[in-house]
Amino acid sequence: MTPDDTGAPGPVTPSRARLAGVRVLLGVSGGIAAYKGAELVRRLRDAGAEVRVVLTENAARFVTPLTFQALSGHPVRTSLWDESAEAAMGHIELARWADEVVVAPASADLIARLAHGFADDLLATLCLATAAPLSIAPAMNQQMWANAATQANLATLHARGVRVLGPGSGGQACGEFGAGRLLEADEIVARLVDGRGPRELVGVRFLVSAGPTYEDIDPVRFLGNRSSGRMGFAVAAAAAEAGADVTLVAGPVHLPTPRGVRRIDVRSARQMRDAVLAEAGANDVFVAAAAVGDFRPRDIAPHKLKKTSGDSGLELSLVQNPDILAEVAALERRPFVVGFAAETERVEEYAREKLERKRLDLVAANEVGAGLGFEREDNALILLWPGGSDVLERSGKADLARALVARIARLRLGKVPA
């Protein structure tokens, strides 16, 4: 065997640096295009990535694990139930190990299982368990690709921030012609590199707040709001992807911490304020995506409030919470301050008022209400800064966050007239 046959990475060229040191978990699902996964391993390694491969059982019918083992230089996994492999690197460890998860080819069946959150084999489980960005390169018959079920599943995944690479169009192994061909390995690598962004934020420190706050009424009840934390977590992930050092102050949410992000969990607005102010001075950018409760009960009852007989009801006396964003904006050595504005009407007008009153560098305004902004996988933003504005059309929160972070990077460097 020549070194080339073993798939050992080729000589160092400028292109090698593109994924240098990036740990790519390549998932290969069943389909005739599985053989192209082997070429992809080589191209990924040529670009400097460290690659580990997981095959579905069906993929292993098309190409042997040994092929991928030789090309990647690492044992290949195919099952959740492999005791020796689990002892070496358990599936959760493998999910944590990855900087990028790429499924190529992604069959219609795998796409459906991912869209519905199945964890019925090793690859689907890893996709669910990882905090790394997930990219899928579909490959299937053109009718299967065009099928409304496949398109709906893709739309679901896209809205969750999964990158869909391709497919290409042309002659298919089944003899038909149309969309559904796996992209060429070089194209997949190029799109992964593009998706990782220019890493223009290396060395920049980002502080992000996310999620709701809970203001306790008694030991079992609280005042809260509908924020899921998705928007703020997406901003933290996008900033980390672009190379920033990210600290995320998270209200009570059930979301995995984005890869490479330092997380501080808090519950109430006052806890969030303390955590943010302790960090703000050490950061270059503060993005306030949290839906901070404006009010809290004046007193927290030490015991569960009892229903009284009759119809006397209960009156809660509320006091105002600190405005964290305004406090950060008022710091003498303040970071670049980005606020969100959640409005149910006159979105742009109220957001501009917040921009000016709180002396922000940028505000990201979104319309909230029934089926808008909160809890959803998608959103739409109006960006306003002193002297400029931009509209980010409705899209998945991951995509919006990347666009927002890119805009922050440019505004900080003064690349957009302010």
Task: State yes or no: residue 44 binds ligand PMT (CB under 6 A).
Answer: no
Exposed / middle / buried, residue 100 (Cβ in 10 Å: 0-12, 13-18, 19+): buried
Q: Of 127, 129, 292, 355, which one interacts with ligand PMT (CB under 6 A)?
A: 292
Identity of the residue, 93 or 375, whose beta carbon is nearer to ligand PMT in the bound complex:
375
Give which of 43, 54, 56 is closest to 9, Cα–Cα. Answer: 43
Residue type, 407: R
Q: Of 123, 129, 342, 383, which one interacts with ligand PMT (CB under 6 A)?
A: 342
Minimum Å gap between C-beta 207 and ligand PMT is: 12
Identity of the residue, 13 or 320, whose beta carbon is nearer to ligand PMT in the bound complex:
320
Q: Please give the backbone phi and psi of residue 209, each rounded to the nearest 5 degrees, phi first.
A: -105, 145
Identity of the residue, 160 or 181, whose beta carbon is nearer to ligand PMT in the bound complex:
160
Which range in 64-72, 91-99, 197-205, 284-292 contacts ligand PMT by CB under 6 A? Answer: 284-292
Task: State yes or no: residue 108 binds ligand PMT (CB under 6 A).
Answer: no
Task: State yes or no: residue 280 binds ligand PMT (CB under 6 A).
Answer: no
- Cα(46)–Cα(342) distance, integer angstroms: 46
Pair type for strands 100-106 and 134-138: parallel
Interaction pattern, residues 321-340, with ligand PMT; x per rule: CB under 6 A: x-xxx-------------xx
Secondary structure E strands in 190-344: 205-210, 215-218, 221-223, 245-250, 261-265, 285-288, 295-297, 318-320, 336-343
Which residues between 366 and 385 bind ligand PMT (CB under 6 A)? Answer: 366, 368, 373-375
Identity of the residue, 160 or 163, whose beta carbon is nearer to ligand PMT in the bound complex:
160
Return the sign of the alpha-carbon dihedral for residues 274, 267, 125, 37: negative
**How remote is the C-alpha of 158 from its chain's centroid?**
11
Would you call 360 helix, strand, or coil by DSSP?
coil
Is residue 232 within 8 A of residue 266, CB to CB? The reply is no
Return the sign of the alpha-carbon dihedral for residues 128, 73, 50, 26: negative
- Cα(241)–Cα(263) distance, integer angstroms: 16
Minimum Å gap between C-beta 32 and ligand PMT is: 40
Which residues between 62 and 101 bind ligand PMT (CB under 6 A)? Answer: none
Identity of the residue, 222 or 374, whose beta carbon is nearer to ligand PMT in the bound complex:
374
Which residues between 218 and 277 bind ligand PMT (CB under 6 A)? Answer: 227-231, 269
Identity of the residue, 158 or 230, whose beta carbon is nearer to ligand PMT in the bound complex:
230
Q: Is 174 a catalytic residue?
A: yes
Minimum Å gap between C-beta 363 and ligand PMT is: 8
Binding residues (CB under 6 A) for ligand PMT: these are: 209, 227-231, 269, 288-292, 294, 321, 323-325, 339-342, 354, 366, 368, 373-375
Query: Any idea which residues carry the catalytic annotation?
Result: 174
